[in-house]
Structure 1
């Protein structure tokens, strides 16, 4: 139920449409996606078939009509209380996000949008209802309008009830920005050490295939390729495998570097001061930010991510196995409203480990020893047995299956002895998982670490923990261990502390959020009659 007083400001706020240039950008984007279909029809269609000519025309007309309908049926407005978006014709959608739930604003400008001076504004909101959990998207507004909306939506002083009357429609001032980090091209050496290297194989392979296809060449018809294939068939198998592996690695390295350069070109991480110029508040000597963290990056597709410091709940340093080998890492922000993809919340590209911890320290305004570099407590020895069992058990079953298959099919018998190498590798994996287990409770953060293939060190603000989940399997009960999960509205929604002593786990949860578990811990057996 909304009172007349609350409804009046919303009625006075006019609805706005997307920029008219979307009448060109939208259809062009659709035509680019349908271009392969149109080319196939033109090339493979019969000469007298009218569909060969009319189908591409029909696709173009439909794309234009869809763009016009989309532009005409999409409108939005920003009031002092909410951001509202109405869209759709056959399936009408009305989405609304309270401004006090907005956590992030992500600006994206693909190459086609940049040509026409447009940007997509993605508004990320804290989880409330299902409709609000993912925020909403304005596709697209002018670049200047997108930047103005970014500043306005993240300005906490402009939320209803905190801004002066009439201030909600004023253009927010451009905040002062302090640079925290920028791209160093020496970090390019970490590109092949990420999982993007695998995607790089496909990217470079697709580019080469498209080049041959555009030139009308068939690789099988090229004499040099034919001669190379003939030579490989007459060389020893180990040499053939080595050559192909070297080619694959080279393609992966080149592809990963290209992806890195496109994704992180002109990277900048800055801190924008609050609109009123206020400095960070302090609590117990620790800085609590009142500004905005702003990440800008991208070559073909420009991206700009803004995270409100008041809604920042921590930081995470991620180290994949290859990155760890190269002493590299990547820092990510923990906040609601961030995308769940691999780069969601990334504050920097893969870089040296020390730089990742420095950025986490700068983002949280904390000393590294209080967050991601805090000395961690080791977990009980029973956790080592659990890690080894979970690593060696499935591997032993797999090896036994390989030997069984070799006994049943004589041609596969040679696979048995090499599969035994998986056992020491699994043992090393289990030892590394245990070595990486740890946790600590600092003055303002709960710090935990786990993982081997993907090691994650999380510094979660204690004030951001809204609940706890305790899990204890039958094997954990026998060894007196328990796994905890700190529930939060930011990031992944929960962060685990694996395999700690049962008493230590309860004490950790109670100390991290005082008085939350005290009633349960203090409850004793009911008195007898």
Structure 2
């Protein structure tokens, strides 16, 4: 019997009482900047309001931080997980247990100090996630295990064994124990050598430089006299030596940032297959525990970034339905052989990540070149307009044009070499990428439709873009610049019968 919804105490539970320490600290952290600014402004104008304002700025975060614990309750029934929250606007979130697709655990540094974890329950819809922000560590682990093992309990029972015809007793049916967890990958600190070749954290470094540049003019040590003196001191040395020092300093800074970021993100990394799911844990300060149901994994994506490819590294992600963004990176930058091994284990089939792809021919080759040459022309036109408006030396325009053409040639050749497709038993394989080499593998059972599109130029040379639509990942897998007849034949072989009504009779 499912208990009827009622007040707390009728099957309902609160979050951990330690949330009373967590939320006030978070509220104070969020309010500290505007509060300090307000207090500084008041102190410079009139101090008569201090006896009234100081209690407010201290007590208010504590009160508002305590409200979530006082107003949030949850319970697990026979068929649902239910969460009630809110003060004035009451909200009740429910999720059927048979629709639970993922149970992710996360713990910031403050969570870990207090022995808490945040639980996020996914139901197959990106925006429909039930969050319990502060459960005790044991309760969070128990809830996750209960929700994931329910899928095993819902599997069809084995057929009963009938007694033998001679009346002999039937052998006892021994239930099959669930498979033990299988470790697919764990952190190997020799992989740190790949960290400097991943440019994912270059954005953070650029942001830090931008912040310094934004506020650099306000620093007391930076003024015209200081800048002139510094430049005069620098020019006393050889320009080549100064450039070398700057290059070495920048490289050293990048090494520190990239390696530190790698350690913080992937500390304690483990990828385990258990309860029919892929379970990933990692993180130094904020720990993450991400679960992806294998039944919802429709493929993988292997990415070889340009610099990482030079040292034999790669990254691996899964394409799944019912998870946030659809793409989950399940391996840190690591040796390509490791990424391929884990990818084949997830696909449960060797070959799609290693076998050669079908080339798209000379027409696709020329189109790859012309696409990049068009970008070079755009850059040259922009440089010409700037030369016309600003009246600087035309040699700069010529240099920009030559550099753009050279880069376009390299990019065009690389994009064609990465281009290709294959149909490997039950997987569609698509190669793409310009500087980074990307191989996307999608289960043909996960394809829900096809789109064949042609631009004006593609129609003139008989090429088309073939798009497999799916509910997983980015919801589309593109096979670019393939012959029209090859595209239709590929779609028909991947999903027999789906295009029968659209194919012309032989």
The answer to whether the 8 A contact 2:466-2:478 is kept is yes
Match of 1:98 in 2: 96
- Equivalent position to 1:511, from 476, 480, 493: 493
TM norm structure 2: 0.84
CA displacement at 1:270 relative to structure 2: 1.5
> Is 1:77 paired with 2:75?
yes
> Is 1:19 paired with 2:16?
yes
Question: How many residues of Structure 1 are paired with residues of Structure 2 in the alignment?
Answer: 477
The answer to whether the 8 A contact 1:405-1:413 is kept is no
Cα 1:372–1:78 shift into 2, 3 Å: farther
The answer to whether the 8 A contact 1:200-1:251 is kept is no
Cα 1:161–1:435 shift into 2, 3 Å: closer
Match of 2:161 in 1: none
Which stretch has the larger CA shift, 114-123 or 150-159? 150-159
- Equivalent position to 1:137, from 131, 150, 155: 131
SS in 1 for 2:329: coil
Match of 2:417 in 1: 435
Distance 1:413 1:185 in 2: 51
* Bigger radius of gyration among the two: 2
> Is 1:353 paired with 2:319?
no
Match of 1:310 in 2: 295
CA displacement at 1:36 relative to structure 2: 3.3
Q: Could you report, residue by residue, the CA deviation over 1:498-524 in whole angstroms, capped at 9, with x for unpaired residues?
A: 111111111111211222222222579
CA displacement at 1:124 relative to structure 2: 2.5
The answer to whether the 8 A contact 1:270-1:294 is kept is yes
Q: Could you report, residue by residue, the CA deviation over 1:429-452 in whole angstroms, capped at 9, with x for unpaired residues?
A: 011111101111111211111002
The answer to whether the 8 A contact 2:100-2:121 is kept is yes
The answer to whether the 8 A contact 2:468-2:476 is kept is yes
- Equivalent position to 2:2, from 9, 13, 17: 9
Distance 2:117 2:103 in 1: 12
SS in 2 for 1:155: helix
Distance 1:33 1:90 in 2: 23
Match of 2:165 in 1: none
The answer to whether the 8 A contact 2:124-2:323 is kept is no
RMSD: 3.4
Structure 2 gaps of 5+ residues are 159-176, 214-218
Match of 1:35 in 2: 32
CA displacement at 1:226 relative to structure 2: 10
SS in 2 for 1:313: strand
The answer to whether the 8 A contact 2:15-2:132 is kept is yes
Distance 1:195 1:89 in 2: 45
> Is 1:376 paired with 2:357?
yes
CA displacement at 1:176 relative to structure 2: 2.6
Cα 1:51–1:461 shift into 2, 3 Å: farther
Cα 1:233–1:105 shift into 2, 3 Å: farther
Q: Could you report, residue by residue, the CA deviation over 1:461-515 in whole angstroms, capped at 9, with x for unpaired residues?
A: 1112222222222222222222122222222222111111111111111211222
The answer to whether the 8 A contact 1:99-1:159 is kept is no
Structure 1 gaps of 5+ residues are 1-7, 165-172, 210-216, 275-290, 525-529
